[in-house]
Structure 1
Amino acid sequence: MKTTSTLLGLFLVLSFVACKEAPKKEIPSVNTETETVASEYNIPNSWIEKRVEKAHIKLDSTEAGKVLWSAMEAHGGLEQWFANGYFSFHFNYEPLSGKGVRDSYQTIDTWSNKARHHSMTDPSNSYGWDGEEAWVVAKDSTSFTYDTQFWALTPLYFSGQPFVLDGQGVNLELLPEQEFNGEMQNVIKATYDAGVGSAPDDYYILYINAKTNLVDAFKYIVSYPEYFPNGGHAPEKLTVTQGRTTVDGIVLATGFKTYWSAPKEKDGMGEYITKITVDDISFAPTVEDNFFSAPEGAEILNK
């Protein structure tokens, strides 16, 4: 795991970014002489080993779980994923319609799924999830034209595959092997127990390359109750990995293309609807105290 003064400086700048301005798609400049971060998360190796062992025992008990574990290993390993610490990346979600663009730089606590985002157009606008409260700091109603509470952890379920399926309340099913983009794929479906997360009716269907064990694509639905108060969900989508990079031992996608799912079309790909780019990816073991907590003056969204 690599920790550089640049990474530490980046986290410090983000924590004070409400007082700064930056041009679009740029992270504010780093002053490497700024005092070091105040605290560490201090997760012991024994904790990581215990969680990984528990996940391995669970996954090794089913054929679907074995496929998922093999994918985790191919992507760098669940132990490395947790040991690397805080996961930061720029995630730019661009619907081809031009509506609903979601462009933010975010830091994720991979151990307990907390998040903090900063707008790339104006980093003084931010939002996050501290494990209990969803919060937002915005200049006006145009700062974020989407549901920030829902979106706080959503990018993790793109960029964090397959590791995000290790937890309790996740149910796996092995589906028939199929060909996708000229390669045979092991296919698993992940569903959730009632009450797990903000949208327990969501599901993911992962296409895991039978030769490389890397995640080539995944299908999913959105059933977030705020969007569908009377039940139901959006039509199924298919997201395809576009390029990969390795950061601190973890193999991650550098982008995605999302299509409407169309089972009768070649490879099940219907209309191309969203381009996603992922860059400025890093891991670091430290952030400041209360990094994910609502800052002074923030609006609490889930009162």
Structure 2
Amino acid sequence: MKKLTILVALTMLIASCKNESKREIKKEKFPEELGKVFQNHGGIENWRKARTLSFNKGEEAHTVDLKSRKTLINTPNYSMGYNGKEVWLSEKDSGTYKGNPSFYHNLFFYFYAMPFVLADDGIIYSEAKSISFEGKEFPGVKISYEANVGSSPDDNYIIYYNPENYQMEWLAYTVTFRSKKPSDRYNLIRYEEWKASDGFKFPKKITWYQKDENGQPTKPARPATEFTLPLVSKTALKDASFEKPIKE
């Protein structure tokens, strides 16, 4: 009877382990190579434990709730954000901000939180041709989205990584926010420098690049965009932090 009890217990344990393994496989559907990129930059499991990310881009102070994707951008002249329902803009002087808040409020969060945002729900992965720069090849992984995912489900990304250490090096992306139509015109960003913070690597500097007729990077298209003051916290901010301020 004792041997039977032990056998039943072992059988249940093995079944439990198999089910857990199946859940993990189902949960982590990204390619092995991309998983290695995540690991190089701090680990996807560590990222999923984080709740709040903040960073500065010039005079802009960006704060994002990593679960709800509520956002807040504060500057000396205006603030904007997403409270989970709508995108809002608050200006000290009317007409200070010239862009489109719906497009801009989370734009640099996606560039800054690379590569981890490429593990979001609703993503489809496929192989991409590598690119070459200064005699080195960078393999690529293409990211597309299932229908009705986010405000621009037709956007595509390609992440290119260093095959020696799996550090992210380049990002190609399309923009369909305005047209709402698929595009094969890719913009290209070089991730030139990384800064270690709170167990993760965050970009210190990114540069948009020109391409030749074969889609290979050639030279910078504009001055580099620089980021400072990265901070990751496991603590969530209050919902009120992302609401439009009430003018007195």
Q: TM-score range by the shorter chain?
A: 0.7 to 0.9
Separation of aligned partners in 1, 2:23 and 2:107: 22
Aligned residue in 1 for 2:53: 87
Aligned residue in 2 for 1:170: 123
- Aligned-partner residue type, residue 148 of structure 1: P
Separation of aligned partners in 1, 2:102 and 2:222: 23
* 1:277 equivalent in alignment to 2:226: yes
Compared CA separation, residues 56 and 173, structure 1 to 2 (3 A) = farther
Cα deviation, 1:170-190, whole Å, max 9, x if unaligned, reads 111112444334333221110
Cα deviation, 1:114-169, whole Å, max 9, x if unaligned, reads 110012x43xx211012221111113343211111211111121111111011221
| RMSD between aligned residues | 2.7
- Aligned-partner residue type, residue 281 of structure 1: P
Q: Of the candidates 196, 201, 224, which is equivalent to residue 251 of structure 1?
A: 201
Compared CA separation, residues 150 and 73, structure 1 to 2 (3 A) = same
Separation of aligned partners in 1, 2:218 and 2:23: 32
Aligned residue in 2 for 1:117: 73
Cα deviation, 1:208-267, whole Å, max 9, x if unaligned, reads 11111111011111110xx326x46594211001211110100111010002443437x4
CA contact (8 A) 2:88 2:244 kept: yes
Separation of aligned partners in 1, 2:53 and 2:109: 9
Q: Of the candidates 165, 169, 179, which is equivalent to residue 228 of structure 1?
A: 179
Moved over 6 A (4+): none
* 1:292 equivalent in alignment to 2:242: yes
* 1:191 equivalent in alignment to 2:159: no
**Partner SS state of residue 264, structure 1:** coil
CA contact (8 A) 1:128 1:135 kept: yes
Aligned residue in 1 for 2:37: 71
Matches within 5 A, 1:34-45: none
CA contact (8 A) 2:132 2:217 kept: no
User: Which one has the largest radius of gyration?
Assistant: 2
CA contact (8 A) 2:155 2:182 kept: no
Structure 2 unaligned blocks of 5 or more: 1-20
Separation of aligned partners in 2, 1:271 and 1:178: 16
Compared CA separation, residues 260 and 161, structure 1 to 2 (3 A) = same
Compared CA separation, residues 214 and 156, structure 1 to 2 (3 A) = same
Q: Of the candidates 61, 68, 71, which is equivalent to residue 105 of structure 1?
A: 61
- Aligned-partner residue type, residue 69 of structure 2: N
**Partner SS state of residue 287, structure 1:** coil
**Percent identical:** 24
Separation of aligned partners in 2, 1:295 and 1:167: 30
Separation of aligned partners in 2, 1:158 and 1:174: 21
Aligned residue in 2 for 1:57: 25
CA contact (8 A) 1:55 1:166 kept: no
**Partner SS state of residue 39, structure 2:** helix
- Aligned-partner residue type, residue 217 of structure 2: G
Matches within 5 A, 1:129-144: 129-144=82-97
How far is the alpha carbon of 1:68 from its aligned partner?
A: 1.4
Compared CA separation, residues 219 and 127, structure 1 to 2 (3 A) = same
Greater relative CO, 1 or 2 (CA 8 Å, sep 6+): 1
Structure 1 unaligned blocks of 5 or more: 1-52, 93-102, 299-303
- Aligned-partner residue type, residue 282 of structure 1: L
**Partner SS state of residue 146, structure 1:** coil
CA contact (8 A) 2:65 2:237 kept: no
Separation of aligned partners in 2, 1:54 and 1:145: 49
Task: Report the TM-score, using the length of structure 1 for normalisation.
Answer: 0.67
**Partner SS state of residue 175, structure 2:** coil
**Partner SS state of residue 290, structure 1:** helix
